[in-house]
Amino acid sequence: MAINIKTISRVITVLLVALFVWYFISHIEDFRILLNINIAYIVLLVGIYVTGIVVNSLFMKWSIALFGKKIGFKESIRVSMISTVGNFFAPSGSGLAFRAMYLKKYHGLAYSNYVSIMFCNYIFAFFVNALLGLFALCIVRENYSQFFLILMVFFVILLISSMMAFSVRIKERRVVYKYKIVQSIFEILVQITKGWGLILANKKVMTGLFMLTITNATLIILGSYLIMNSLNIHLSFAGLILFSVIGALSVFINITPGNLGVRESVYIIFSTVVGLTTSQILAAAVLDRAILFVVILALWAIYGRRANRQMGINQEAV
């Protein structure tokens, strides 16, 4: 019997939502902090989210230019929105697949080149977040608990792995493999690493992409700061960085729409290290998702609907 990933994702989502509802009802007094939200921080948070989407759109715009595919700024926003909407409302990284199909159909970007771009995005994100995580652990005032050590080991492995990935290359060989599927996989990997090498060879673009990754990490930390302050939750500097880094990395465990419940579960597991209670984590999650939902709907109304009318446009003036 084949495993239906979508069905599993839906079941997990329903269970996690049911668990949250039960916890919310059982601890409703702890969620009253949502009634005293500082609106000024919310306005700033909206600006952070919009800027983050712009940063992601620039990352894709600059990346695909290396493969001879040019898109204008407005279309890059739409492409970013396609991914954001897909990831928020659909499970298992659907947004990435939607964006790949769009770029393939309307700009001829090969899937292997798209994977190379995502590989670059992930490696840069892993490297930056691993460094931030290790820095936070070095200054956090917490005993060396098992969760502290787990995070330390995880960040060290992530840092080493991301550094090693910079030298990953798979050379073409004239060897014909016995099984066609092995041959196909090998050829795909060769094309992906070729694209990765093309990105690394262009120092100017690579530096720009790395700076965008740092900017994105900074925006996430600022966003976390605004969320905590809007709820009047006091969190240490190290805790704030850990909260942001754990949230950013948990996105890669994308098995539910919008990573619903998964990110919160990871937060709760490491709550003693971060310095938050379960109620504070869930209150912050509710606020974060509510604001992001509004931002996504607003931007999709502006850019997304135009995409349906302008799908035939392959290039747009910058």
Q: What is the pLDDT of residues 171-189, one digit of tens each?
A: 655 555 555 665 566 666 6
List Cβ<8 Å contacts ≥24 apart for 138-145: 139/237, 139/238, 140/236, 140/238, 140/239, 140/242, 140/273, 140/275, 141/236, 141/238, 142/272, 142/273, 142/275, 145/272, 145/273
Q: pLDDT tens digit string along 235-272?
A: 999 999 999 999 998 877 777 766 777 788 889 889 88
Does residue 188 lie in a domain region? yes
Does residue 13 lie in a domain region? no
Res. 215: pLDDT tops 90: yes
Q: Give the domain extent around 200.
A: 34-309
Does residue 56 lie in a domain region? yes
**Mapping DSSP to helix (H, G, I), strand (E, B) and coil, where does residue 143 land?**
coil
Answer for the pair 208, 59: CB distance below 8 angstroms, yes or no.
no
Tell me which H or E stretch contains 38: none
Higher pLDDT, 161 or 25: 161
Q: pLDDT tens digit string along 97-120?
A: 888 888 888 888 888 888 888 888
Residues 6+ apart with CB under 8 A from 164: none
pLDDT over 70 percentage in the chain: 73
CA dist 246 to 13, 42, 99, 232, 272, Å? 20, 22, 25, 21, 13
How many other CB atoms are there within 10 angstroms of residue 255's CB atom? 16
Euclidean distance between CA atoms 147 and 150, whole angstroms: 5
Q: pLDDT tens digit string along 20-43?
A: 666 666 656 656 666 678 888 889
Does residue 12 lie in a domain region? no
Does residue 248 lie in a domain region? yes
Does residue 278 lie in a domain region? yes
Across 61-65, 129-133, 191-195, 309-313, least confident range: 309-313
Count up the domains in the chain and report the number: 1
285 — alpha (psi -120 to 50), left (phi > 0) or beta? Answer: alpha
Does residue 1 lie in a domain region? no
Amino acid at 272: T
List Cβ<8 Å contacts ≥24 apart for 54-58: 54/80, 55/212, 55/215, 55/216, 55/219, 56/80, 56/83, 56/84, 56/216, 58/212
Q: Give CA angle at 313 (308, 318), nearest 5°.
A: 110
Does residue 109 lie in a domain region? yes
Residues 6+ apart with CB under 8 A from 267: 243, 246, 247, 250, 274, 276, 281, 285
If we measure between CA atoms, which residue out of 308, 65, 99 comes closest to residue 209?
65
